[in-house]
Structure 1
Amino acid sequence: MAINDNMSPRGVVHAGDLPDQPAPMATEGAVAWMRDNLFNGPFNSILSLIALALVLYIVPGTLSWLVFDANWTGGAEACQANPDGACWPFVSSRWEQFLYGFYEHSERWRINILLIILAVGIAWLAIERLPGRGLAAILMLFVYPVFAFFMLYGSETLGLPIVETSQWGGFTLTLVIALSGIVASLPLGVLLALGRRSKMPIISLLSTVFIEFWRGIPLVAVLFMATIMFPLFLPAGVTFDQLLRAVIGVALFSSAYMAEVVRGGLQAIPKGQYEGAMALGLPFGKMMRLIILPQALKIVIPGIVNTFIGLFKDTTLVLIIALFDLLGVVQASIADPNWSIRSVPYTGYAFVAIVFWICCYSMARYSRYIEDKLHTGHKR
């Protein structure tokens, strides 16, 4: 069959050159990301433009106040002369108080050692190529808290002067409450989640009552009960450290939320996983430890980290029971008449916000890294 060059029936290759086609749309790069995520439809495009307008309206003025027009050197006089910018000399002159609180000046080297060990331990756990990460986890979870307590509080046996918890404060106190609550709430939350799903009615009832009780009251009420009401139930002459009461209250409060997060992960595990474990003859403890809990905890990593972040931010509530964490120390410093300047309160609160944002965002980023490593969900 002869093919006519002027004809191009379907299924016949055209004898001449085809016209150039437009280049395909880019699938990588900033433009492609904006098209796929910000301008992938009329509604999203409108929302993106509104958000961009808000950013352009807020960010320049904020940066101008925080950075470009701010006071970086001098003292109260410089901030008084320029009240329209942030007063960072206020922070630089009080940074020791913000970090150590009212801790004895001659004993602050103990806090420095603990902060260095904490930073090294976190790096040891976070960097995969470092050896002995299992040993690091054991040391940081079990050995470090005991060592930190004796270092902070002191021990006559070890030759360390006693520093009462009423003198603890600042960012150090924030870390003490947050880390203690985090370390205690996760294992307790796992036990409560397992107890609530237990087939034994008494265990299930007790776990349910515990979870619903602590979830049904605000943390402010928990702190008030731990500080004011709890001592009323103690025998005469028996005292309980106020900070320890606050830490226990925060840990129990957080564990109730953690239990529900873990329970959601347990319910997401297919029934076949339980049946397969039982078919292998594994007892309940090994089934949970080796098969069920690793999968469940991997699924709920976002929820666990979200609870940790909420706990870290809730530490600021201890101010109402006269424990001066970072926010409490900053507020006390703002009341100093020597710094009675219009920009000082805003600068202090901005400093607290920046510190908390750095800590919370670091936890969130590490959570994302763990999720991507374990392939816990769809690519975000």
Structure 2
Amino acid sequence: MEEQVASYAPRGGLPALPPPVDTSSPFARLRLRFFATPFDAILTVLFGALAVYVVWSLVQWAIVDAVFTGDDRTACLSTAERHVGACWAFIASRYSQFVYGLYPVDARWRVDVVFALGAALILLVAIPRVPFKKLFALLLLGVYPLIVLVLLTGGQFEMSGSGISIVFALAAAATIFLAFGQSSTVGRTLVMRIALWLTVLAAVVGVASFYYTAGGSESILTFRFNLPAQVAVFAALGAIVLAITATVSTSDERGGLAMLIVPTLVAVAFVLILTAPLGIMHVPTNLWGGLLVTLVVALTGIAFSLPLGILLALGRQSGMPAVRFLSVVFIEFWRGVPLITVLFMANFMLPLLLPQGVSFNQLLRVLVGVSLFAAAYMAEVIRGGLQAIPKGQYEGADAMALTYWQKMRMIILPQALTLVIPGIVNTFIGLFKDTSLVYIIGLADLLGTIRRGFNDPVWITPSTPATGLVFGAFAFWLFCFSMSRYSIYIEHRLARGRKH
């Protein structure tokens, strides 16, 4: 054995190993990433030269040769002595129009208040460590839209009894939804079943009241109610009373019962505030434009598409054939139609489906079309999250004797929405960029307002279109990039989308 070991052992010892390759210094990392092989070195040099050329060309166009001040097109015209790049004087001259459109100058403070209040509420809801988050979320989703509607338009809307009946039918539906979350046995009571049927009756009769023309109407507090509208209002109020009564008799959580009257209070405030003379100038929506229209369309679509998408996703997975069929038809119809077609249908065909004397303005039609279109895509994103939840989560919730809505609200939906955060934000970003299509039907959003500025004789120059489009692209990128970075932050905070 010793002879065998000696035959394999070197007589002069092992040769010295070379020193380890440096991989920690900045120069070593640069060499390994960009100059590891001759081919890598050639690609690095070529793409580096191209990047330097592109960056320098942009800097020269946007800064070195740019014009920042001027009163008309003569400041941005090239001469034999100088070459003019970007015409930022055009942006500075029309900046207010890019933000407000044709909104009256002496009323633009209302737009500023809406922007500032919205940004403050969004930050308070988005920052995790801010206290009273539920209160701020309620203000953002329930109170802020009413403030926006009143400030931007000036209020003083004309509401008929038919419209009021629909508002209270929605309040009854919201009250019943909150009631199901308060008690696991409230849905099994006879009183709640009667409240459900009264809510359905209020909604159906309320819609029919728009088309009812026979008979007279009665005036109540300056509002005129025809017979179906009266029936719908009384049915909705009865449903609200029965839902609160059933919840009080079955729920053990007394602290949350006060939330049941919130939908009714919001409905009353909605009707009174919109119809009361507030003493501020009325601004029609055809004077809105620029960034104001872009944000109104995008945020409205985002706010309505998410809850509607959740309901559609749950409906598509429902065990009730009628609900599942209607959800599938709705989703596949809106996903199979281009957004441009939806906008044209909402603008020209929706008025044909409304009863005589009832009309929506152009912006409201667009908001309805965009919200329904985005909700169909949102439903499929959320359905993917629902399918990713293990079956044991559903079985565990059923074993705890939770109702369907309690199971979805407390166990299934929080996990499903967390899993599909990238898909949800991706849909939001796509919706924000698609708002530029409203220019086709005559609404002057940010991009549309910029394009209209190209035809202004005061600023017609060869560099004006490129400057305006770059400004618009940067504005869209800023909002979309902010949403993307916040979604990444939420993913990391919830420890999703990465391996441990």
Fold shared per TM-score above 0.5: yes
User: Is residue 270 from structure 1 mapped to residue 266 from structure 2 by the alignment?
Assistant: no
User: Is residue 93 from structure 1 mapped to residue 93 from structure 2 by the alignment?
Assistant: yes
Once the two structures are TM-superposed, the CA of residue 68 in structure 1 deviates from its matched residue by 2.2
Larger displacement relative to structure 2 (246-255 or 77-86)? 77-86
- Secondary structure of 1:354's match? helix
Tell me the distance in 1 between the aligned counterparts of 2:67 and 2:360.
45
Q: Name the CA shift for 1:60/1:191 in 2 (closer, same or farther; >3 Å).
A: same
User: Is residue 79 from structure 1 mapped to residue 57 from structure 2 by the alignment?
Assistant: no
2:99–2:292 CA contact under 8 A, matched in 1: yes
Q: Structure 2 stretches of 5 or more lacking a match? A: 157-276
**CA shift digits 1:103-152 (9 cap, x unpaired):** 11111110011111112112212323322222211111111111100000
**CA shift digits 1:237-286 (9 cap, x unpaired):** 32211100100100000000000000000011111111111111211111
User: Is residue 208 from structure 1 mapped to residue 204 from structure 2 by the alignment?
Assistant: no
Larger displacement relative to structure 2 (342-351 or 62-71)? 62-71
User: Match of 1:374?
Assistant: 494
User: Match of 2:213?
Assistant: none
- Secondary structure of 2:77's match? helix
User: Match of 2:237?
Assistant: none
Q: What is the percentage of aligned positions where both structures have the same residue?
A: 51
User: Is residue 319 from structure 1 mapped to residue 315 from structure 2 by the alignment?
Assistant: no
Amino acid paired to 1:214: W
Once the two structures are TM-superposed, the CA of residue 49 in structure 1 deviates from its matched residue by 7.2
Amino acid paired to 1:132: F
User: Match of 2:260?
Assistant: none
**CA shift digits 1:218-246 (9 cap, x unpaired):** 00000000111111222233221110010
Amino acid paired to 2:92: S
Query: Which residues in structure 2 correspond to 1:112-131 (within 5 Å)?
Result: 112-131=112-131
Tell me the distance in 1 between the aligned counterparts of 2:27 and 2:479.
28
User: Match of 1:25?
Assistant: 23
- Secondary structure of 2:66's match? coil
**CA shift digits 1:332-371 (9 cap, x unpaired):** 1110011110000110111100000000000000011001
Q: Name the CA shift for 1:214/1:35 in 2 (closer, same or farther; >3 Å).
A: farther
Q: Name the CA shift for 1:138/1:66 in 2 (closer, same or farther; >3 Å).
A: same
Query: Which residues in structure 2 correspond to 1:1-380 (within 5 Å)?
Result: 21-23=19-21, 25-26=23-24, 32=29, 52=48, 54-75=50-71, 76-81=73-78, 84-156=84-156, 157-378=277-498
1:83–1:342 CA contact under 8 A, matched in 2: no
Amino acid paired to 1:237: G
Q: Name the CA shift for 1:71/1:183 in 2 (closer, same or farther; >3 Å).
A: same
2:300–2:367 CA contact under 8 A, matched in 1: yes
Larger displacement relative to structure 2 (90-99 or 274-283)? 274-283
Tell me the distance in 2 between the aligned counterparts of 1:267 and 1:176.
33
Tell me the distance in 1 between the aligned counterparts of 2:45 and 2:392.
48
Amino acid paired to 1:62: L
1:269–1:292 CA contact under 8 A, matched in 2: yes
- Secondary structure of 1:204's match? helix
1:101–1:167 CA contact under 8 A, matched in 2: yes
Q: Name the CA shift for 1:9/1:276 in 2 (closer, same or farther; >3 Å).
A: farther
Once the two structures are TM-superposed, the CA of residue 44 in structure 1 deviates from its matched residue by 9.1
Amino acid paired to 1:63: V
Q: Name the CA shift for 1:53/1:294 in 2 (closer, same or farther; >3 Å).
A: farther
Amino acid paired to 1:173: V
TM-score by length of 1: 0.89
1:83–1:341 CA contact under 8 A, matched in 2: no
Larger displacement relative to structure 2 (70-79 or 94-103)? 70-79
Tell me the distance in 2 between the aligned counterparts of 1:29 and 1:187.
49
Q: Name the CA shift for 1:31/1:149 in 2 (closer, same or farther; >3 Å).
A: farther
Q: Name the CA shift for 1:270/1:107 in 2 (closer, same or farther; >3 Å).
A: same
Q: Name the CA shift for 1:42/1:130 in 2 (closer, same or farther; >3 Å).
A: farther
Q: Name the CA shift for 1:171/1:44 in 2 (closer, same or farther; >3 Å).
A: farther
Q: Structure 1 stretches of 5 or more lacking a match? A: none
TM-score by length of 2: 0.68
Larger displacement relative to structure 2 (131-140 or 337-346)? 131-140
Q: Name the CA shift for 1:34/1:289 in 2 (closer, same or farther; >3 Å).
A: farther
Tell me the distance in 2 between the aligned counterparts of 1:361 and 1:128.
20
Tell me the distance in 2 between the aligned counterparts of 1:267 and 1:250.
26
Q: Name the CA shift for 1:202/1:352 in 2 (closer, same or farther; >3 Å).
A: same
- Secondary structure of 1:131's match? coil
Once the two structures are TM-superposed, the CA of residue 84 in structure 1 deviates from its matched residue by 3.5
User: Match of 2:262?
Assistant: none
**CA shift digits 1:299-322 (9 cap, x unpaired):** 100000000000001111111111
- Secondary structure of 2:337's match? coil
Larger displacement relative to structure 2 (234-243 or 270-279)? 234-243
How many pairs were matched up?
A: 371
Larger displacement relative to structure 2 (52-61 or 105-114)? 52-61
User: Match of 2:222?
Assistant: none
Once the two structures are TM-superposed, the CA of residue 325 in structure 1 deviates from its matched residue by 0.6
Q: Name the CA shift for 1:196/1:72 in 2 (closer, same or farther; >3 Å).
A: same
